[in-house]
Amino acid sequence: MKIQYRIHDHIFLSPFLPLKPGVFQSECKKFELHLTSSSPSKAETVIQPKLIWRETTRPEVGFSVDFFELDLSEIPHGEGYQSFQHGYQSWSLSKRMQASEADRSPRLAFLQYTQENIYSKHKGEAGEVISEYFTILYQQSSSRGHLYASLDRGEFGMKFKTHITPEGAITKVSAIYDFYCLPDLRPNSKIIISKVLIESFTGIPEVILANYFKKLGEKLGTPTLPKKVPTGWCSWYYYYTKIDQKTIFENLSKVRELNLPIEFFQIDDGYQREIGDWLVPNDKFPGGMRILADEIKRIGLKPGIWLAPFLVRKKSEFFRKFPEAILKDENGKPVPAIYQPLWGRGYTYALDITHPTALAYIEKVFTTIVKDWGYPYLKLDFLYAGLLPGDTYKKNLSPQARYMEALALIRKIVGKNTFLLGCGAPMLPSVGFFDGMRISCDVAPYWGPERLRVFLKDRNALCTRTALLNDLTRASMHRNLWLNDPDCLLVRKKKNQMTEAQTKIMASVMGVSGGMLLVSDDLTKLELDRLTLLKKVFQLNAECETETPIPLGIFENDFPQGLYNPAGYIGIWNVTESPAKISVTLPKPIKSKGPYIDFWTGKIIDLEISQKKDKVDIELPAFGSVVFAI
């Protein structure tokens, strides 16, 4: 166990030494650690750590705490373990990690901090895995495992570091708390940090994960979620930033002509004059954004709009007028938040979301968009920018604490009846503030990652395959923490490199998941057969939307091969380029006798079902998929 702190540029790492049972003292004598534990059940242990500042005075000028690492004594025995690595934010990859795999961040720094936790230093070697907020260690041969997880949002971020041998033996598990601030350290003051849940289990790990999400949502208080998930149209994945008022009106009129069962109509990036100047539309929207909202309402839909409230570019009016509210490093230079060529040359920067001027502007923006313009659906993007390191106005707030304070302000401004969708958002500190949450990287009109992203070893590289992988591994967050947003569905043939079979897998995953369903095609050019497919996806989604799905086979394949929805549907797919026999184990036995009909084709499916009816085998062609009712 150790704590890292700094005084100006000097970094100190101080281990903790035992004083008496449950009490430890840092070697530097500045901190004392108290550990207590409880056992809510035979399988569960809850650890409550408390840090105490033992100096007789407050910290000296230039003092701050980086992180605290807590070694956990309960680790599984034996070999053959794999770990489930959960990503930091919406776009961060979440998947199983085998003992031989290297936990490697993207090569380029700006890809790392825009997609992963900038405070997590992944070694890039096999033998050490960092998982954000929770992890599962699972031995497939015995069906035994351990869940390690945070039990609350907490003032400080939490992650778990696992050391594993090539044979799959676990040698160490630790919980790491991201401070990266100067807490209010008074003599003998206590810092209460998040509790750690350790749960041992035997059985299906996906069910354990779903139960954890349920427990977490009940504890943190998710918003009251509607029975019907949002369905709609989004401008981004066909037009990107090249939208205008005419394009929006054309697709809007087509929604009614095609009789699509959608509720929301969302205008994405491209309407604003500049990133950061959210209240000033560009010349392509001469009528302004209120007129668009009024027209969307006139035909019976709810208007939605995109913004990235924590981002700002140098050309924006806000950056020029209020440089003091921009997040800066220790040298006074603006902190880069992202490099996005679609927005122009150079970096886009972050607001200091603890600065009064920035907070006043955030209040003005959201008040105007919701109350003056009339948008009841807001997609908030690139939210990780609110947690980037910098010399903030309020130095006593950790990155996670300042982020949660800003979200609380936004929710207070817009009210409980405004639907907030998070994107690019750190997951755990977002629970309770959002109605919907993007759980994956961006989809794309192609299946696998682009060659450049492969060369850069960008494990989070946007593509449909990676997006669907996260949609599966995080599927059970749906209705436990928020309404899942698996990102937009693309069914078109034009401007789409995916095959029909790959498109059907995309439709199957999104339909059976029961999460939010927004299409992002040019509706004026949509082919008839793809329109038929789209309407069937909406039908499937409507039948699955009220239940929390469970992925099948997280630890058996890099890409889980099935999804079970308690509403009565199973989806199974083969995402390889060769025919394969797919086997999935179900969380509950199948009750119906069959025959089983493929939802897409109406044909009888040739299945092999185990005697206990809890395992299904099926032969599928390359990129084949089926969905059937049980």
pLDDT digits (tens, 9 = 90+) for 559-600: 999 999 999 999 999 999 999 999 999 999 998 888 999 999
pLDDT bucket at 208, cuts 50 / 70 / 90: very high
Domain end residue (candidates: 185, 203, 221) = 203
The tens digit of pLDDT for each residue in 409-430 reads: 999 999 999 999 999 999 999 9
Q: Is residue 577 part of a domain?
A: yes
| pLDDT tens, position by position, 361-406 | 999 999 999 999 999 999 999 999 999 999 999 999 999 999 999 9
Mean pLDDT for the chain?
A: 97
Closest CA to 497 of 523, 537, 463, 462: 463
Residue 400 domain flag = no
pLDDT at 240 over 90: yes
Mean pLDDT over 549-556 rounds to 97
Distance CA 89, CA 39 (A): 30
234 found inside a domain: no
Per-residue pLDDT reduced to its tens digit, 169-185 = 999 999 999 999 999 99
Catalytic residue among 269, 352, 442, 485: 442
CA-to-CA separations, 151 to 49, 117, 119, 220, 395, in angstroms, rounded:
12, 19, 21, 9, 26
Q: How many other CB atoms are there within 10 angstroms of residue 59's CB atom?
A: 18
Residues 65-87 have pLDDT tens digits of 999 999 999 999 999 999 999 99
Q: Where does a domain end: 170, 203, 236?
A: 203
- Say how far apart CA 462 and CA 274 lie, in whole Å: 24
Q: Which residue do the tokens 């057969």 mark?
A: 529
Is residue 468 in a domain?
Answer: no
What CATH code is carried by the domain that includes residue 604?
2.60.40
* For range 606-625, the mean pLDDT: 96
Domains of the chain: total: 2
Query: Is residue 277 flagged as an active site residue?
Result: no
Q: Is residue 168 part of a domain?
A: yes
- Region 495-508: mean pLDDT is 98
| Residue 558 pLDDT class (50, 70, 90 cuts) | very high
435 classed as catalytic: no
pLDDT bin (cut points 50, 70, 90) of residue 500 is very high
Q: Domain limits at 576?
A: 562-629
The one-letter code for the residue type at 96 is: R
pLDDT at 503 over 90: yes
Q: Does 18 score more than 90 pLDDT?
A: yes
d(CA 275, CA 28): 46
242-265 pLDDT tens trace: 999 999 999 999 998 999 999 999
Separation between Cα atoms, residue 117 and residue 158, nearest integer Å? 11
Query: Which residues are 552's β-sheet partners?
Result: 562
Q: Would 9 be classed as within a structural domain?
A: yes
Is residue 174 included in any domain, yes or no? Answer: yes
The tens digit of pLDDT for each residue in 307-358 reads 999 999 999 999 999 999 999 999 999 999 999 999 999 999 999 999 999 9
With 0-12 / 13-18 / 19 or more C-beta atoms within 10 angstroms meaning exposed / middle / buried, residue 576 is middle
Rounded (10°) angle between helices 356-367 and 399-414: 30
Rounded mean pLDDT of 104-124? 94
The helix/strand/coil state of 277 is strand
Quick one: pLDDT at residue 593? 87
* CA proximity to 480, closest of 287, 236, 218, 232: 218
Query: Could you report the per-residue pLDDT of 517-539, keeping only the tens digit for each?
Result: 999 999 999 999 999 999 999 99
Model pLDDT, residue 353 = 98
**What stretches of 98-224 adopt beta strand conformation (E)?**
128-132, 134-139, 144-150, 157-164, 170-181, 190-192, 196-202
Q: Percent of the chain scored above 90 by pLDDT?
A: 97
Residue 594, pLDDT score = 86
145 occurs within a structural domain: yes
Query: Of the listed 268, 277, 352, 381, which one is catalytic?
Result: 381
Domain boundary among 177, 203, 229: 203
